[in-house]
Amino acid sequence: MKKTLIFFLLWSWCLPAVLMAQAKSALPLQTGEDVAVATTTSGKVRGYIHNGVYTYKGIPYAQAKRFQAPQKPASWEGVRSSMTYGPVSPLMNPTTQVNDEVEFVFHHDWGYTNEDCLRLNVWTKGLNDGKKRPVMFWIHGGGYTAGSSQELPSYDGEAISQKGDVVLVSINHRLNILGFLDLSDFGDQYAGSANASFYDLLAALQWVKENISSFGGDPDNVTIFGQSGGGGKVSTLMSSPLAKGLFHKAIVQSGVWSDFQDQATSKRIGAAVLAELGLNASTVDSIQNIPYEKLVAAGNKALQKVREQLAAEGKPVGPGLRFGWGPTLDGKLLPYHMSDPRALENCSDIPLIIGSTKNEFMASLRNPALKNANETEVKEFLKKQWGDKTEAYISAVKKAYPKDTRPNDLMDIDAFFRPGMVAQANAKSAKGSAPVFLYLFTWQSPVMDGAYKALHCMEIPFVMNNIARCEEMTGGGKEAYALADKMSQAWIQFARTGNPSHPGLPTWPKYNEAVGATMMFDNVSVIRNHPDKEVLEMTMAVPARF
């Protein structure tokens, strides 16, 4: 009895401490001076732990003067706090107003701008623990002129890191005129200015190679992936010999497969910008001190003048100039266009997942009057593009998607990204030894009475396993969670092994043009061969309009 009493007293004294320890270990958020401290080549960084995931934001991976190559970041003493996102690249057209409903769906986080924006973020489940986790390197969208690593809630890396025990890295880098103004004729210090944005990406990948093992990642197993402009950046890096060895797998989501700007044109634009600013070869370095807004205004005027000059000369306006700023065929970082056999050979050993969404930039959202259009109104709209081929196009769409019921479904099929994704898959699978896996995301969001369908960016919450963060876009229902579980696992498996197949999905065959095997992501995901062959044959023959 005496021993029992002593034991009871001891236990009663210890119990509060035990409960406090358990409560502390169960806290979703852990912070402190000595919490989540990691070592980089520039110095130590401190993040935080949330739901068991070590999180770091705003780590400098490089520094750069305007239009010059990125350099190693300055080292620091002590421990650098890295708990919030760093600055984002200045934008040509800052957001001053939004469409209320669309903003509700996308739920942007614009961040704060600063030209010193070369920052990255890391999510991982362990530090210096001997594990070699796959590294997934996310490149944001926004074309080549906008966006950031925090712009959409779907970009957050915690959920996919936690689920797949992968290291997720996302980055900011220079955009628009800051990333692509070609001043290479005006001094060696500007030699790479036409593609400064991509030299930033290379610097970030080099940082990963040198530092990611400290964050539990494997520098010899890096997958680059991105959506929209980010997908285009992935394809561009695949074309660059300077990126060779910095990544080992790639995923292109709704990217653009197109030629680069020719350097004769980019140099002409550079000279026109200097002329607008009243600068010349002897005063070019003064451009370092020009206010960004003035720089952008000069750039816009120069772009328009060069477009007009090329038109007057009867010369084609390339895709870079047509859309604004973008990468240049400079002979070094980019010696070949994406479709050149030599560029395809450069990435022949890189496994690739590639695909797009069914609806992307759908017409019914761009034309509010057609949101509830009847079949007659839809046909009239389609006739503007297809003329006497309208009925043939409608027949092809109905054959590809027999379960569609709304009249506006006929005009909301993507004709911009999908043809390029298939063309790239055809070229890559024919020339390379590494496998290609093609997908089409057809899942329809229930948000706002189903108006947003499989919109551009809709697949990202599923890939990143971020349905909880993106209920405004996905609705947050059980079907969304179920598909996200399957899609994110496919991306994780691919990053780990180079093959996205797993028990939750049908076996995903390697793609080739003859068979056309395509994973159709939906509530019931299936493999279909050439699922929209007739639609593609028509859209590939006609310039896309969006």
Q: Using an 8 Å Cβ cutoff, are 248 and 198 in contact?
A: no
d(CA 137, CA 443): 25
Q: How far apart are CA 503 and CA 486, in angstroms?
A: 9
Answer yes or no: 77 catalytic. no
Pair of tokens at residue 497: 């092994």
Rounded to whole angstroms, how far apart are CA atoms 463 and 319? 29
What residues contact 283, with CB distance under 8 A and at least 6 apart? none
Active-site residue among 456, 472, 488, 525? 456
410 CB-near residues (< 8 Å, 6+ apart): 375, 378, 382, 394, 397, 398, 404
User: 198-217 burial by CB neighbour count: b if 16+ within 10 A, else e?
Assistant: bbbbbbbbbbbbebbbbbbb
Both tokens of 313, joined, read 């000369």
Give me 326's structure tokens. 């973008």
Amino acid at 454: A
Q: Are 100 and 184 in contact (CB under 8 A)?
A: no
- Tell me the sheet residues that pair with 121: 170
CA 172 from chain centre, in angstroms, equals: 11
Q: How many angstroms from the chain centroid is the CA of residue 8?
A: 59
Cα separation, 148 vs 156, whole angstroms: 12
3-class SS letters over 115-172: CCCCEEEEEECCCCCCCCEEEEEEECCCCCCCCCCCCCHHHCCHHHHHHHCCEEEEEC
456 as an active site residue: the answer is yes
Nearest to 43 by CA among 196, 275, 214: 214
Options 42, 89, 228, 488, the catalytic residue: 228
- The answer to whether 360 is a known catalytic residue is yes
β-pairing verdict for 217-227 and 249-253: parallel
Query: Within 10 Å of residue 79's Cβ, how many Cβ atoms?
Result: 15
* CA 409/CA 398 separation, integer angstroms: 9
Residue tagged active-site, from 151, 158, 360, 459: 360
Give the active site residues: 228, 360, 456
